[in-house]
C-alpha cells in the first residue's frame, strides 16, 4: 500500500466514524441513509469533467454551452453575444467558415474547452473561482483571450461559479457576494426595453432603445408588474396611432413603430406610463448608441432612411442641446452612449452638466483600462457591464469594484444574442448593482432573467431589499 493509499483509507475511516457518531446523536430512523448523505457532504468536490457543445442564441446564431461536472452534479452555462465587437473587448472566437452557419460557428471554441480547458481544470476545487479563471487565462496566454476564445472561457467560468455555489450549499447570488466580499445582496431596478430602434429594429428610429425604470416600486415583484402593464398599454397606444403592423418587436422585445423622431417615440412611452397610472413611479432611460450614426463629426438621425441620408445632420453641440430638451420634457434619468465611442470631448462635456446618469457602453466596452481613463477624465458616471466583453467571473467582479470605487452606477446588461441562462440576474443581486438591463418583459430569453430575480426576492423574504429610488448606487 502506498503512502497516499494509506492516507486516503484512514481519512475515509475517520469520515465514516464521524458519520456514524452523527447518526447516533441525531437518533435518525434511517441511519444508513443518514450516514450516506453525511459522507457525501464531507467529501470535497472537484471538477471531474468539462464538456462543451454548440447551441443557438436568441437570433439563431451559434454560441457556446458548457456542462461542468463535479462530485456534486452537473452545472450548465451558456454565453450571450452582441451584434458587433470592439477592439477593446475580449475576443469572441468564431470559426469563419462561410459554408457553416455563415461563418458564425463556434466549433473551435467548443474544441478548446473539450480538449484543453477540461484537461487543465480537472481536479480543481470549484469554490476557488479566481484560481480557475487564472488557470484559463494562463492557458490562453493572450491579452484578450484570442487563443481559446472569451466565449469558451466565460462559459466555463460561469459554470464553475454555479458549481462553487453548490459545493458551499448556498444560492448562486450569495456565492457571488462572497467572491466580491460583500454580504448584502440587493434586487436591482429593471430597465425594461419598450421601444427598439437603431440596429436592433427595422424601423427608422436612430436611437437603439427606450427603456422604463420602475424606481417608485417597493419590491421587485411590483416593479415587474409596473413594467409589464406599461408595456401592454404601450402596445395599445401604438395600435391606436399606427395600426397593428407597427407592434412588431425588435431583437430585445421592444416595440418597433416607424416613428420619425426621438420625441415622437418618447411621447408614446409617456402616454403609456400615464395610462398605466405610474406617472410618478416610472422613469425613462435611453440607449442612444450614437456610434452607429456618427458620420465624421456629425450625427445623422436619418441614417436608416436612404432617401433622407445626409438631410438631418446634427453637430455634437446640437446633440447636447437635444438631450437637454428631452430631459426637460420627459422623465429621462439615464442616457447611454450619447456620443461616438471616441468622442471623449463631448461625452465629458455632457457628463459635467449633471443632467442625468451617463452610461458608457461602446465608450468603455467593460474594459478596465478604458474605465480607468473615463474615471480620470470624468467622462461618464456609470458602467454598462457586459460579461462577455470581459471573459471571466473574477474579472467581471474586478471591473465592478473599479466602477463602484469611483462612485459610479453599474448597469448589468444582456446582449442582443441571448440564451436562457439567468446568470446575470444572480450576478446583479450578488454584486448589489442598482440596475439590470435585460430587455422587454416578453421573450423567454429576456424573461428568464426577470423571473430569476422574482425567485431570489421570494427566497430572501423579509431580508429582500429592492434598490428603487437608490438605483444609482
Our measurement of the distance from residue 295's CA atom to the centroid of its chain's CA atoms, rounded to an integer in Å, reads 29
**Degrees (nearest 5) of the Cα angle 235, 236, 242?**
85
Q: Is 140 within any annotated ligand binding site? A: no
Q: Is 361 annotated as contributing to ligand binding?
A: yes
Q: How far apart are CA 185 and CA 224, in angstroms?
A: 19
Beta bridge partners of 65: 53, 78
Q: Is there a contact between 95 and 106 (Cβ–Cβ < 8 Å)?
A: yes
Contacts 24+ apart (CB under 8 A), 366-371: 366/89, 366/390, 366/396, 366/399, 367/88, 367/89, 367/399, 368/395, 368/398, 368/399, 368/402, 369/88, 370/88, 371/399, 371/402, 371/403
User: 444: which 3 cell numbers?
Assistant: 423567454
Helix (H) or strand (E) holding 70, with range, is: strand 62-70
How far the first Cα of the chain sits from its last, in Å, is 59
**φ/ψ (deg, to 5) at 335:** -130, 125
Q: Is 133 annotated as a binding residue?
A: no
Provide DSSP, 344-369.
HHHHHHHHHTTSSEEEESTTTTT-HH
Distance from C-alpha of 12 to C-alpha of 175, rounded to nearest angstrom: 28
The answer for residues whose C-beta is within 8 angstroms of residue 417's C-beta and 6 or more apart is 57, 58, 59, 61, 63, 80, 81, 82, 83
Secondary structure percentages of the chain, helix, strand, coil, to 5: 50, 15, 35
Find, among 272, 238, 274, the residue nearest to 255 by Cα: 238
Residues in the annotated binding site? 287, 336, 361
Residues in the annotated binding site for Mg(2+)? 287, 336, 361
Amino acid at each position: 500500500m502506498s503512502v497516499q493509499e494509506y492516507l486516503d483509507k484512514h481519512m475515509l475511516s475517520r469520515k465514516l466514524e464521524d458519520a456514524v457518531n452523527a447518526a447516533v446523536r441525531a437518533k435518525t430512523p434511517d441511519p444508513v441513509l443518514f450516514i450516506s448523505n453525511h459522507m457525501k457532504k464531507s467529501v470535497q468536490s472537484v471538477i471531474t469533467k468539462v464538456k462543451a457543445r454548440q447551441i443557438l442564441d436568441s437570433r439563431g446564431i451559434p454560441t457556446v454551452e458548457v456542462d461542468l461536472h463535479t462530485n456534486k452534479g452537473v452545472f450548465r452555462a451558456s454565453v450571450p453575444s452582441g451584434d458587433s465587437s470592439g477592439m477593446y473587448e475580449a475576443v469572441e472566437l468564431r470559426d469563419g467558415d462561410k459554408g457553416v452557419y455563415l461563418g458564425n460557428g463556434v466549433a473551435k471554441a467548443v474544441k478548446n474547452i473539450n480538449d484543453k480547458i477540461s484537461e487543465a481544470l480537472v481536479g480543481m476545487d470549484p469554490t476557488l473561482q479566481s484560481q480557475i479563471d487564472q488557470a484559463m487565462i494562463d492557458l490562453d496566454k493572450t491579452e484578450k483571450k484570442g487563443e481559446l476564445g472569451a466565449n469558451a472561457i466565460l462559459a466555463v467560468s460561469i459554470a464553475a461559479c454555479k458549481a462553487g455555489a453548490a459545493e458551499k450549499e448556498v444560492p448562486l447570488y450569495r456565492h457571488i457576494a462572497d467572491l466580491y466580499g460583500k454580504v448584502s445582496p440587493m434586487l436591482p431596478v429593471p430597465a425594461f426595453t419598450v421601444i427598439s430602434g437603431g440596429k436592433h429594429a427595422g424601423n427608422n428610429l436612430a436611437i437603439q432603445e427606450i427603456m422604463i425604470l420602475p424606481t417608485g416600486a417597493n419590491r421587485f415583484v411590483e416593479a415587474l408588474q409596473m413594467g409589464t402593464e406599461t408595456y401592454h398599454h404601450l402596445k395599445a397606444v401604438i395600435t391606436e396611432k399606427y395600426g397593428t403592423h407597427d407592434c412588431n418587436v425588435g431583437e430585445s422585445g421592444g416595440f418597433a413603430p416607424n416613428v420619425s423622431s426621438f420625441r415622437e417615440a418618447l411621447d408614446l412611452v409617456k402616454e403609456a406610463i400615464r395610462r398605466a397610472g405610474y406617472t410618478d413611479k416610472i422613469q425613462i432611460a435611453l440607449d442612444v448608441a450614437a456610434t452607429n450614426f456618427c458620420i465624421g463629426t456629425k450625427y445623422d438621425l436619418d441614417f436608416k432612411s436612404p432617401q433622407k441620408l445626409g438631410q438631418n445632420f446634427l453637430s455634437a453641440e446640437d446633440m447636447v442641446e437635444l438631450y437637454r430638451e428631452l430631459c426637460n420634457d420627459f422623465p429621462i434619468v439615464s442616457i447611454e452612449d450619447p456620443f461616438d465611442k471616441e468622442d471623449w470631448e463631448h461625452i465629458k462635456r455632457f457628463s459635467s452638466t449633471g443632467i442625468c446618469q451617463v452610461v458608457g457602453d461602446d465608450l468603455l466596452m467593460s474594459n478596465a483600462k478604458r474605465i480607468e481613463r473615463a474615471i480620470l477624465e470624468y467622462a461618464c458616471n456609470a458602467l454598462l457591464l457586459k460579461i462577455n466583453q470581459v471573459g471571466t467571473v473574477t474579472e467581471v467582479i474586478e471591473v465592478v469594484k473599479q466602477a463602484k470605487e469611483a462612485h459610479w452606477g453599474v448597469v448589468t446588461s444582456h446582449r442582443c444574442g441571448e440564451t436562457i441562462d439567468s446568470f446575470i440576474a444572480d450576478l446583479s443581486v450578488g454584486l448589489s448593482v442598482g440596475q439590470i438591463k435585460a430587455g422587454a418583459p416578453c421573450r423567454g430569453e429576456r424573461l428568464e432573467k426577470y423571473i430569476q430575480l422574482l425567485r431570489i426576492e421570494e427566497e430572501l423574504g423579509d431580508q429582500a431589499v429592492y434598490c428603487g429610488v437608490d438605483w444609482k448606487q
